[in-house]
Chains A and B, each alone.
Chain A
Amino acid sequence: MATDAEPDVRARNPDVRARTAGAHVRAHIDRHFLAFVSWPGLIVMLAVTAVPFVITIGMGFTNYNLVQPAWRFIGFANFVALWHDPQTPRIVFNTLYIVIGLTVLSTALGLLLAVLMRTAFPGIGIIRSLYTLPIMTAGIVVAITWRAMFNNQAGWVNYFLGLLHLPQPLWLGDPHLAIPVVIIASLWTAVPFQAILLFAGLLTVPRELQQAAEVDGAGPVRVFWHVTLVHIRPVLFIVVVLRLIDGFRLFEQIQVLTTGGPGIASTPFSLQIYNTGLLYQQLGYAAAMGIVLVLLVALTVGITFLVLPRRI
């Protein structure tokens, strides 16, 4: 090829002498190939993420809304209003309740499932792949299906509870049960997800290490706690952080399942921002909430970084 930029290659190549303008351009592209192929992706990415992100931050300091086109900077007024908003404590509580509840439960149950997935018997391969199906299911399907399951009259959950002579609560109408319902529905996809990743992590634990501990007289629980669990720390850390981040973005499992209610009993930031900005069109105020949400995500992930061991 005559398009190569490096002199030693070019010297060996007789076509180079007949170089045209086109070839010149091609040589230029070749020399900066990596930059050429990365910049379109980077530019598009900046355009759809970094630019909107910066604008959201700016908007948080304005009184912008879609009703009156005139707007101005109002400093920290949105944040002050948010601080005094009687709904704010509940929204923060709901957000953290959902995120932490979901992360802790899904990781613990996912770890159990991952250990079980290591059981060797015929058919385990099929069982493992059946467990991945909820992960692939659209969030809206999860939301609708669990809305039906927890339905008061036609729902299966209360029907089975009735068969067992257990109380049949008004799941979606009880402010104390709405968030547990959201967590249960989300666990349905989150547990298999954590399990698949942790299972991949468990495969990296050297057998010899576990056997050596057994030879030294450690029981299975101690081997698991002191050898296996220590060895999968990096995976465990990633899985926890991913779940935290996903928990903050949970939307349809709340908007469609509980509609954030009763009242605002199960409304987290993601839904409150949507309601404020896109239903009530107070974009400035919604953007301020968005900034607080990003800070909350950063704080939570930051604390996890400090608290959770991530090295073997």
Chain B
Amino acid sequence: MRMRRRRHGILAARILLLLIGLVLIGIPFLWILLTAFKYPVDADASPPVFISPLTLSNFRALFQDNYAQSLLNSVIITALATGFTLIVGIPAGYAFARGKFRGRGFFGSFLLFSRMVPPVIYIIPLFLFFHFLNLIGSFTGLTLAYLTGLLPFTVWMSASYFQGVPVELEEAARVDGASRLRVFFRIALPLALPGVVSVGLLIGMAAWGEYFIPLILGGFGTEPATVGIVDFIGVDGSSWGPMAAGALCLIVPVFVATLIAQRSLLEGLTSGALKG
């Protein structure tokens, strides 16, 4: 009986701790949600006001100031970077998983090494190249620069998924006369598809949230929302309303995707790190 009561006590304590953690996690989100719909007076009030009349004026301010264009740029860059990375990276991941080609060892150690190097190292020379090639502020330049981080990750991740596809299946198809191209599209890719989808989601989210690269290589007309939102930091640091509204625009698509595909994302997140 005493044992049982103690066990209940432990369970209650664990649940309580989990809920406290959840509150800590939730507070910044609550700030975004509340502040996005506040009048400027309430958003910047000191001491803070928690319950206040609601308004859409922050969103109006955002969209009058070109934020819609920034969001559209974010969508374009995310689509281009994700699409191009997958097209180049998935077949490379397949080759890496199936092994036995010239340069495999070099490829592998390079993948690990490139993950260790802070992006600023790559971006400084890219800034110079793009300067001479007139690619600063172009979607082409941004897409290429996004590949620095996304491509090694994609190759590495998709290789681990392709390793999970039994080679025997592919060999059987080969014996029946299928070409390797056909084997790749008809057998390997469909079987590894759940993994490929989660890689796509993860790099899509990474591209959507990228700030450092477009800060340096973006320009007027291609600036994504992550960079555009910073313009709303006033000189005195007090225009929290539009900033919260802008932040809300950035997190809502990601949250929707997370909730729809949470299983796939969690799987990708864990296997990406643990296999990698």
Scan residues 190-219 of chain A and give those whose CB is less than 8 A from a CB of chain B: 192-193, 196-197, 200-201
Stretch at the interface among A46-54, A80-88, A174-182, A221-229: A46-54
- Measured between C-beta atoms, what is the minimum distance from B124 to chain A in Å? 5
Among A3, A148, A196, the residue within 8 A (CB) of B243 is A148
Assess A38 versus B92: contact at CB under 8 Å? Given A26-B179, A52-B126: yes
- Whether the Cβ atoms of B254 and A45 lie closer than 8 Å is no
- B-contact bits for A247-259, CB 8 A (1 contact / 0 none): 0110110001000
Assembled-state Cα–Cα distance A42/B147 (Å)? 12
Assembled-state Cα–Cα distance A52/B47 (Å)? 49
Assess A132 versus B95: contact at CB under 8 Å? Given A1-B179, A41-B151, A154-B48: no
15 interchain pairs, CB-CB under 8 A: A9-B174, A35-B102, A37-B184, A116-B17, A119-B14, A127-B18, A138-B251, A145-B31, A148-B35, A238-B274, A239-B273, A249-B118, A252-B212, A277-B124, A278-B127
Among B43, B100, B258, the residue within 8 A (CB) of A132 is B258
- The interface residues of chain A lying within 8 Å CB-to-CB of B17 are 116
- Whether the Cβ atoms of A156 and B147 lie closer than 8 Å is no
Check A286 for interface membership: any CB of B closer than 8 A.
Answer: yes
- Whether the Cβ atoms of A136 and B216 lie closer than 8 Å is no
For B182, give the chain A residue with the smallest CB separation: A1
- A-contact bits for B36-58, CB 8 A (1 contact / 0 none): 00000001111110000000000
- Whether the Cβ atoms of B254 and A148 lie closer than 8 Å is no
- Measured between C-beta atoms, what is the minimum distance from B210 to chain A in Å? 8
In order of increasing CB-CB distance, the 5 nearest A-B pairs are A41-B92, A138-B209, A38-B95, A153-B46, A37-B91
Check B230 for interface membership: any CB of A closer than 8 A.
Answer: yes
- The interface residues of chain A lying within 8 Å CB-to-CB of B177 are 1, 4, 9, 12-13
- A-contact bits for B128-166, CB 8 A (1 contact / 0 none): 110000000000000011011001100100000000000
Assess A196 versus B266: contact at CB under 8 Å? Given A34-B101, A40-B88: yes
- Whether the Cβ atoms of B125 and A121 lie closer than 8 Å is no
- Whether the Cβ atoms of B11 and A119 lie closer than 8 Å is yes
Assess A42 versus B14: contact at CB under 8 Å? Given A55-B125, A151-B237, A154-B48: no
Additional A-B contacts beyond A48-B147, A156-B27 (20; CB < 8 A): A30-B181, A34-B94, A37-B184, A41-B93, A41-B155, A45-B152, A48-B145, A52-B124, A55-B125, A56-B125, A119-B14, A119-B18, A130-B22, A145-B28, A147-B233, A148-B31, A197-B269, A242-B273, A248-B118, A290-B120
Stretch at the interface among B60-68, B107-115, B192-200: B107-115
Check B222 for interface membership: any CB of A closer than 8 A.
Answer: no
- A-contact bits for B1-21, CB 8 A (1 contact / 0 none): 000000000010011011101
Q: Provide the main secondary structure of the chain A interface.
A: helix
Assembled-state Cα–Cα distance A196/B263 (Å)? 12
Most chain B CB neighbours (cut-off 10 Å) among A42, A59, A238, A298 = A42
For A293, give the chain B residue with the smallest CB separation: B118
Q: Provide the main secondary structure of the chain B interface.
A: helix
For A291, give the chain B residue with the smallest CB separation: B121
- Whether the Cβ atoms of A245 and B95 lie closer than 8 Å is no
- The interface residues of chain B lying within 8 Å CB-to-CB of A145 are 28, 31-32, 244, 247
- Whether the Cβ atoms of B125 and A51 lie closer than 8 Å is yes
For B120, give the chain A residue with the smallest CB separation: A273
Check A280 for interface membership: any CB of B closer than 8 A.
Answer: no
Check A97 for interface membership: any CB of B closer than 8 A.
Answer: no
For B17, give the chain A residue with the smallest CB separation: A116
CB contacts between A and B, total, < 8 Å: 284
Assembled-state Cα–Cα distance A154/B27 (Å)? 15
- Whether the Cβ atoms of A270 and B152 lie closer than 8 Å is no
Assembled-state Cα–Cα distance A121/B22 (Å)? 16
Check A105 for interface membership: any CB of B closer than 8 A.
Answer: no
A residues apposed to B, CB below 8 Å: 1, 3-4, 9, 12-13, 26, 29-30, 32-35, 37-38, 40-42, 44-53, 55-56, 59, 113, 116-117, 119, 121, 124, 127, 129-142, 144-149, 151, 153-156, 159, 162, 188, 192-193, 196-197, 200-201, 235, 238-239, 242, 245, 248-249, 251-252, 256, 269-270, 273-274, 277-278, 283, 286-287, 290, 293-294, 297-298, 301
- Measured between C-beta atoms, what is the minimum distance from B198 to chain A in Å? 13
- The interface residues of chain A lying within 8 Å CB-to-CB of B276 are 238
- Whether the Cβ atoms of B122 and A48 lie closer than 8 Å is yes
- Whether the Cβ atoms of A113 and B11 lie closer than 8 Å is no
- Whether the Cβ atoms of A33 and B269 lie closer than 8 Å is no
- Whether the Cβ atoms of A293 and B121 lie closer than 8 Å is yes
- The interface residues of chain A lying within 8 Å CB-to-CB of B27 are 149, 156
- Whether the Cβ atoms of A138 and B250 lie closer than 8 Å is yes
Assess A238 versus B91: contact at CB under 8 Å? Given A162-B47, A301-B116: no
- Whether the Cβ atoms of A149 and B91 lie closer than 8 Å is no
- Whether the Cβ atoms of A196 and B270 lie closer than 8 Å is yes
- The interface residues of chain A lying within 8 Å CB-to-CB of B110 are 45-46, 49-50
Among B25, B92, B126, B178, the residue within 8 A (CB) of A131 is B25
Check B59 for interface membership: any CB of A closer than 8 A.
Answer: no
Assess A297 versus B118: contact at CB under 8 Å? Given A38-B96, A145-B247: yes
Assembled-state Cα–Cα distance A293/B118 (Å)? 8
- A-contact bits for B237-260, CB 8 A (1 contact / 0 none): 110100110010011001101110
